[in-house]
Amino acid sequence: MLQIRQKNLKVFVCSQGEDKEIMEYLNKNSIFLQGFLLVFTYILSEELRKFLCSKEINFFEQSYKRGLNLRDSKNNKELSKIEIVEKTSSQKEVNTLVIHRTIRSGEEVRNEGDITIFGRINSGALIQSQGNIQAFGEVNGDISCNGEYLIITSLKQGNIVFGGEVIEKQKFSDGAKKIYKKNNEIIIEDL
Protein backbone atom coordinates (compact mmCIF):
# COMPACT_ATOMS: atom_id res chain seq x y z
CA MET A 1 0.00 0.00 0.00
CA LEU A 2 1.33 3.39 -1.00
CA GLN A 3 1.77 5.88 1.82
CA ILE A 4 2.53 9.51 1.00
CA ARG A 5 2.97 12.46 3.34
CA GLN A 6 3.31 16.07 2.39
CA LYS A 7 6.38 17.76 3.80
CA ASN A 8 7.61 21.31 3.37
CA LEU A 9 11.25 21.56 2.41
CA LYS A 10 13.46 24.58 3.06
CA VAL A 11 16.57 24.84 0.90
CA PHE A 12 19.68 26.97 1.23
CA VAL A 13 21.67 27.34 -2.02
CA CYS A 14 25.42 27.89 -1.70
CA SER A 15 26.92 29.02 -4.99
CA GLN A 16 30.42 29.84 -3.77
CA GLY A 17 32.62 29.88 -0.71
CA GLU A 18 35.84 28.60 0.74
CA ASP A 19 35.65 25.38 2.78
CA LYS A 20 36.87 27.14 5.93
CA GLU A 21 34.22 29.89 5.86
CA ILE A 22 31.47 27.38 5.01
CA MET A 23 32.49 25.17 7.96
CA GLU A 24 32.56 28.20 10.30
CA TYR A 25 29.07 29.20 9.16
CA LEU A 26 27.78 25.64 9.56
CA ASN A 27 29.33 25.31 13.03
CA LYS A 28 27.64 28.52 14.12
CA ASN A 29 24.25 27.61 12.61
CA SER A 30 24.22 23.79 12.58
CA ILE A 31 21.51 23.54 15.22
CA PHE A 32 19.15 25.49 12.92
CA LEU A 33 20.21 23.81 9.66
CA GLN A 34 19.27 20.29 10.71
CA GLY A 35 16.07 19.47 8.87
CA PHE A 36 16.91 21.83 6.02
CA LEU A 37 18.59 20.97 2.72
CA LEU A 38 21.81 22.65 1.60
CA VAL A 39 22.33 22.71 -2.16
CA PHE A 40 25.85 23.35 -3.42
CA THR A 41 26.15 24.43 -7.05
CA TYR A 42 29.65 23.00 -7.31
CA ILE A 43 31.55 19.82 -6.46
CA LEU A 44 32.52 19.65 -2.76
CA SER A 45 35.91 18.75 -1.38
CA GLU A 46 36.13 15.46 0.48
CA GLU A 47 36.87 17.35 3.70
CA LEU A 48 33.70 19.47 3.42
CA ARG A 49 31.61 16.42 2.48
CA LYS A 50 32.81 14.56 5.61
CA PHE A 51 32.18 17.66 7.74
CA LEU A 52 28.57 17.92 6.50
CA CYS A 53 28.00 14.23 7.26
CA SER A 54 29.48 14.60 10.76
CA LYS A 55 27.05 17.47 11.49
CA GLU A 56 24.15 15.38 10.10
CA ILE A 57 23.20 18.15 7.67
CA ASN A 58 21.28 17.15 4.54
CA PHE A 59 23.00 18.34 1.38
CA PHE A 60 23.03 17.98 -2.36
CA GLU A 61 25.96 18.82 -4.59
CA GLN A 62 25.86 19.57 -8.28
CA SER A 63 27.47 16.67 -10.07
CA TYR A 64 26.90 17.54 -13.72
CA LYS A 65 29.01 19.65 -16.07
CA ARG A 66 26.12 22.07 -16.42
CA GLY A 67 25.27 23.88 -13.19
CA LEU A 68 21.98 23.69 -11.37
CA ASN A 69 19.19 25.32 -13.29
CA LEU A 70 17.76 27.83 -10.83
CA ARG A 71 14.66 29.61 -12.01
CA ASP A 72 12.74 32.58 -10.68
CA SER A 73 9.20 31.22 -10.98
CA LYS A 74 7.60 34.62 -10.39
CA ASN A 75 9.33 36.23 -13.38
CA ASN A 76 9.88 32.97 -15.31
CA LYS A 77 13.55 33.64 -15.97
CA GLU A 78 16.72 31.72 -15.25
CA LEU A 79 18.94 32.99 -12.47
CA SER A 80 22.53 32.89 -13.65
CA LYS A 81 24.09 34.21 -10.47
CA ILE A 82 23.19 35.46 -7.06
CA GLU A 83 23.71 39.17 -6.74
CA ILE A 84 24.49 40.71 -3.38
CA VAL A 85 23.37 44.28 -2.92
CA GLU A 86 24.81 46.15 0.03
CA LYS A 87 22.94 49.11 1.40
CA THR A 88 24.78 52.17 2.50
CA SER A 89 24.32 53.30 6.08
CA SER A 90 21.99 56.08 4.94
CA GLN A 91 19.74 53.52 3.22
CA LYS A 92 19.68 51.06 6.09
CA GLU A 93 16.50 51.35 8.10
CA VAL A 94 16.01 48.83 10.89
CA ASN A 95 12.60 48.53 12.52
CA THR A 96 11.20 46.56 15.43
CA LEU A 97 8.93 43.73 14.34
CA VAL A 98 6.05 43.27 16.81
CA ILE A 99 3.97 40.08 16.59
CA HIS A 100 0.70 39.58 18.51
CA ARG A 101 -0.03 35.96 17.59
CA THR A 102 1.26 32.39 17.85
CA ILE A 103 4.23 31.52 15.65
CA ARG A 104 3.31 28.19 14.09
CA SER A 105 5.49 25.13 13.57
CA GLY A 106 7.59 25.48 10.41
CA GLU A 107 7.23 29.26 10.35
CA GLU A 108 10.35 31.42 10.21
CA VAL A 109 10.53 34.99 11.47
CA ARG A 110 13.67 36.90 10.52
CA ASN A 111 14.44 40.58 11.07
CA GLU A 112 17.51 42.80 10.91
CA GLY A 113 16.12 44.83 13.81
CA ASP A 114 14.46 43.86 17.08
CA ILE A 115 11.64 41.32 17.39
CA THR A 116 8.95 41.38 20.09
CA ILE A 117 6.56 38.43 20.25
CA PHE A 118 3.47 38.43 22.48
CA GLY A 119 2.31 34.94 21.45
CA ARG A 120 3.50 31.37 21.82
CA ILE A 121 6.41 30.10 19.69
CA ASN A 122 5.54 26.55 18.65
CA SER A 123 7.99 23.67 18.22
CA GLY A 124 9.59 23.77 14.77
CA ALA A 125 9.34 27.57 14.49
CA LEU A 126 12.48 29.68 14.02
CA ILE A 127 12.97 33.24 15.27
CA GLN A 128 16.16 34.92 14.05
CA SER A 129 17.24 38.53 14.61
CA GLN A 130 20.34 40.65 14.25
CA GLY A 131 18.79 42.85 16.94
CA ASN A 132 17.23 42.14 20.32
CA ILE A 133 14.44 39.61 20.91
CA GLN A 134 11.69 39.70 23.51
CA ALA A 135 9.48 36.58 23.72
CA PHE A 136 6.59 36.98 26.16
CA GLY A 137 4.80 33.72 25.34
CA GLU A 138 5.79 30.08 25.87
CA VAL A 139 8.85 29.19 23.76
CA ASN A 140 8.98 25.72 22.19
CA GLY A 141 10.78 26.70 18.96
CA ASP A 142 14.32 27.86 18.13
CA ILE A 143 15.60 31.39 18.74
CA SER A 144 18.80 32.96 17.40
CA CYS A 145 19.60 36.45 18.69
CA ASN A 146 22.62 38.55 17.73
CA GLY A 147 21.52 41.71 19.52
CA GLU A 148 22.50 43.19 22.86
CA TYR A 149 19.90 41.28 24.88
CA LEU A 150 17.30 38.51 24.77
CA ILE A 151 14.27 38.24 27.07
CA ILE A 152 12.38 34.95 27.44
CA THR A 153 9.51 34.51 29.87
CA SER A 154 8.96 30.76 29.52
CA LEU A 155 11.25 28.25 27.76
CA LYS A 156 9.79 24.74 27.45
CA GLN A 157 11.60 23.20 24.45
CA GLY A 158 13.61 24.49 21.55
CA ASN A 159 17.12 25.84 21.29
CA ILE A 160 18.48 29.26 22.17
CA VAL A 161 21.51 30.76 20.43
CA PHE A 162 22.70 34.13 21.72
CA GLY A 163 25.62 35.89 20.05
CA GLY A 164 26.54 32.69 18.21
CA GLU A 165 26.67 30.55 21.37
CA VAL A 166 24.17 27.83 22.27
CA ILE A 167 22.63 28.42 25.71
CA GLU A 168 21.97 25.31 27.79
CA LYS A 169 18.30 24.71 28.61
CA GLN A 170 19.05 23.99 32.27
CA LYS A 171 19.81 27.69 32.74
CA PHE A 172 16.13 28.47 32.08
CA SER A 173 14.75 26.46 35.00
CA ASP A 174 12.01 28.83 36.10
CA GLY A 175 10.69 32.31 35.45
CA ALA A 176 11.53 35.03 32.99
CA LYS A 177 15.18 35.50 32.03
CA LYS A 178 17.26 38.29 30.54
CA ILE A 179 20.37 37.28 28.57
CA TYR A 180 23.10 39.72 27.63
CA LYS A 181 26.88 39.93 27.20
CA LYS A 182 29.20 41.67 29.60
CA ASN A 183 32.97 41.62 29.00
CA ASN A 184 32.48 38.90 26.33
CA GLU A 185 30.72 36.67 28.89
CA ILE A 186 27.08 35.68 28.55
CA ILE A 187 25.04 36.65 31.61
CA ILE A 188 21.63 35.12 32.38
CA GLU A 189 19.56 36.91 35.03
CA ASP A 190 16.05 36.56 36.44
CA LEU A 191 13.70 39.37 35.49
pLDDT digit string (tens) for 13-68? 787 788 898 888 888 877 777 667 788 877 888 898 888 888 877 787 775 555 55
How large is the average pLDDT for residues 66-90?
Answer: 47
d(CA 123, CA 141): 4
pLDDT of residue 38: 83
Nearest to 116 by CA among 140, 149, 92: 149
> Which carries the bigger pLDDT value, residue 108 or residue 88?
108
d(CA 19, CA 37): 18
Of 20-29, 88-97, 146-155, the least confident: 88-97
The secondary structure of 65-132 as a DSSP string is SSPP--EETTTTEE--S----PPPTTT-----EEE-S-B-TT-EEEESS-EEE-S-B-TT-EEEESS-
**R_g of the chain, CA atoms, integer Å:** 19
Binning pLDDT at 50, 70 and 90, where does residue 139 land?
very high
* Under 8 Å between Cβ of 167 and 152: no
Assess whether pLDDT exceeds 70 at residue 138: yes
pLDDT of residue 15: 77
Assess whether pLDDT exceeds 80 at residue 84: no
pLDDT of residue 168: 83
Pick the most confident of 30-39, 142-151, 174-183. Answer: 142-151
Beta bridge partners of 110: 128
Assess whether pLDDT exceeds 90 at residue 152: yes
Domain 97-190 fold is Pectate Lyase C-like (2.160.20)
Percent with pLDDT over 70 in the chain: 78
Binning pLDDT at 50, 70 and 90, where does residue 119 land?
very high
Quote the pTM value.
0.55
pLDDT of residue 109: 92
Strand duo 115-117 + 133-139: pairing: parallel
Q: What is the residue extent of each domain of the chain?
A: 11-78, 97-190
